[in-house]
């Protein structure tokens, strides 16, 4: 049977193994952590008889018409994504889920901290999620917005200046998409906690996420934001 015909059943099968995740749409399971959405997407492939499990985040603190697959990482085998064949899905699913959780341990941890998110960014940029397709200004923007949401204004402001200086010294992103690092910084400095909270609530309405249980995002003893700038994509 083709994935397009069985995606609803397969998504329900996955939901039995993912604590706290709820079916958002066929092929997509989500768990809410304050302004962050953690997801497992069952991605379609060219092969109609297979699919690809993908772990990801989405930041509700920035307006978007879609749920993005930020910091995404597929099920990997020897550094290459591992497709799941429909014909062996039921038999192999427990092992497949176990393998995905081993690669992305946050799936098993119902609690999530800001530090967990920073470490995920570091892992992603170092290539531990597979191929890196990162636009750093957006990743850096999300860090600042999440800190603002948590009420950590000083940390957000200090991080913004640090990340701005990092962008000024980089050539591994398309600067034209943000204008200049200075413009990026100036725009970020116009945002405050109230703006971010309002955006998160609006985005939950837009994407019909109000019904999701919110497991929260813990912000305690944050690690230095420098962790996300130390490594270049591999």
Q: How many CB atoms lie within 10 A of CB 83?
A: 18
Concatenated DSSP letters of 87-111: GGHHHHHHHHHHHHHHHSGGGT-S-
- H or E stretch covering 215: none
Mean of the pLDDT values across residues 47-75?
96
**Residue 61 predicted with pLDDT over 90:** yes
Q: Give the HSE-up count for residue 6: Cα atoms under 13 Å, Cβ half-sphere.
A: 16
Q: What is the pTM of this model?
A: 0.93
Q: Distance of CA 26 to CAs 9, 11, 133, 176, 203, Å?
A: 8, 6, 25, 36, 20
Higher pLDDT, 134 or 190: 190
Q: What is the pLDDT of residues 78-113, one digit of tens each?
A: 778 889 999 999 999 999 999 999 999 999 988 999
CA distance 30 to 25: 9
What six digits make up the tokens of 230? 């130390």
Interacting residues of 83 by C-beta distance below 8 A, sequence separation 6+: 45, 47, 50, 51, 52
**Residue 164 predicted with pLDDT over 60:** yes
Q: Contact, 33 vs 217, CB < 8 A?
A: yes
3-state percent helix, strand, coil for the chain, nearest multiple of 5: 45, 20, 35
Q: Distance of CA 66 to CAs 69, 90, 117, Å?
A: 9, 30, 20
Higher pLDDT, 73 or 78: 73
How confident is residue 231, by pLDDT bands cut at 50, 70 and 90? Answer: low
Higher pLDDT, 147 or 80: 147
Q: Are strands 76-77 and 80-81 parallel, antiparallel or unpaired?
A: antiparallel
pLDDT of residue 234: 35
Q: What is the mean pLDDT of the chain?
A: 92
pLDDT of residue 7: 93
**Residue 30 predicted with pLDDT over 80:** yes
What six digits make up the tokens of 72? 């995404």
Mean of the pLDDT values across residues 146-151?
98
Q: What is the pLDDT of residues 200-230, one digit of tens each?
A: 999 999 999 999 999 999 999 988 898 888 7
């Amino acid at each position: 049977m083709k994935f397009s015909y069985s995606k609803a059943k397969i998504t329900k099968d996955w939901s039995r193994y993912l604590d706290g995740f709820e079916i958002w749409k066929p092929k997509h399971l989500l768990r809410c952590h304050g302004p962050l959405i953690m997801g497992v997407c069952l991605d379609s492939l060219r092969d109609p008889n297979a699919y690809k499990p993908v772990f990801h985040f989405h930041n509700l603190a920035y307006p978007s018409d879609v749920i993005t697959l930020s910091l995404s990482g597929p099920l990997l085998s020897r550094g290459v994504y591992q497709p799941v064949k429909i014909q062996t899905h039921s038999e192999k699913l427990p092992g497949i889920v176990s393998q995905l959780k081993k690669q992305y341990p946050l799936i098993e941890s119902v609690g999530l901290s800001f530090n967990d998110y920073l470490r995920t960014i570091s892992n992603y940029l170092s290539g531990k999620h597979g191929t890196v397709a990162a636009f750093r200004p957006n990743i850096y923007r999300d860090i600042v917005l999440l800190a603002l949401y948590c009420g950590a204004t000083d940390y957000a402001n200090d991080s913004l200046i640090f990340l701005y200086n990092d962008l000024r010294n980089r050539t591994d992103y398309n600067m034209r998409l943000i204008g200049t690092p200075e413009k990026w910084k100036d725009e970020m400095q116009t945002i405050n906690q109230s703006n971010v909270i309002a955006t998160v609530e609006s985005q939950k309405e837009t994407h019909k996420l109000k019904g999701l249980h919110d497991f929260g995002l813990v912000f305690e003893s944050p690690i230095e934001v420098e962790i996300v700038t130390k490594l270049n994509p591999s």
